[in-house]
């Protein structure tokens, strides 16, 4: 049997779905979404590029075309896709092209990779709502694209915040995002 992000046993064959988001550094997105009730698993990885089996080093060059993403497995009976989309818009700045804070390059682009037509429609509708909201002064530049092959990132990237919360990046970049989302470190 599989385990959720807190190590509890969970049956992934039930009412589960997956979502894939790129919102800058995958460590930040992973740390926030892991804390949501109904989220069973969050895996950091790469999607959207043309190179098979990319490495972190290759993705960081910006030449592979991949974005740093998280793939989220969630229980639809507890957490719906619309709630995850809402979190996506709030946890990063979707108005900056290929940049989040000090992280710049195409690998840090804002992107929603949809897995079916229902997700595509929901993502496009949420973009319209977010773009009309008062949250952002500048236009949203988030890409909405069909999901392609997901490549899990190397093991040392997984569960990064939980394993390294005292490191400066975690304290000064990730912890404030958790606070912004209503979750303490």
C-alpha to C-alpha distance for 113 and 19, rounded to whole angstroms:
7
Residues with Cβ within 8 Å of 121's Cβ and at least 6 positions away in sequence, in order, are: none
For the 2-174 domain, the top CATH level (class) is: alpha beta
* Ordered per-residue pLDDT tens for the chain, 185 residues: 454 444 444 555 568 999 999 999 999 999 999 999 999 999 999 999 999 999 999 999 999 999 999 999 999 999 999 999 999 999 999 999 999 988 899 999 999 999 999 999 999 999 999 999 888 889 999 999 999 999 999 999 999 999 999 999 999 999 988 888 775 44
Active site residues: 25
- Beta bridge partner(s), residue 70: 21, 44
The verdict on pTM exceeding 0.85 is yes
């Amino acid at each position: 049997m599989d385990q959720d992000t807190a190590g509890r046993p969970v049956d992934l064959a039930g009412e589960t779905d997956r979502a894939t988001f790129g919102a800058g550094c995958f460590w930040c997105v992973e740390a926030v979404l892991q804390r949501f009730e109904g989220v069973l698993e969050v895996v950091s990885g790469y999607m959207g590029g043309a190179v098979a089996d990319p490495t972190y080093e290759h993705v960081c060059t910006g030449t592979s075309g991949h974005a740093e993403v998280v793939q989220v497995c969630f229980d639809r009976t507890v957490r719906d896709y619309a709630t995850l989309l809402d979190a996506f818009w709030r946890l990063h700045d979707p108005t900056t092209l290929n940049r989040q804070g000090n992280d710049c390059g195409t690998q840090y682009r804002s992107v929603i990779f949809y897995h079916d037509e229902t997700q595509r429609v929901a993502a496009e509708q949420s973009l319209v709502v977010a773009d009309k909201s008062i949250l952002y002064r500048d236009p949203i530049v988030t890409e909405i694209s069909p999901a392609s092959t997901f490549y899990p990132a190397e093991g040392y990237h997984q569960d990064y915040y939980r394993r390294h919360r005292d490191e400066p990046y975690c304290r000064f970049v990730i912890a404030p995002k958790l606070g912004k989302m209503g979750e303490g470190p």
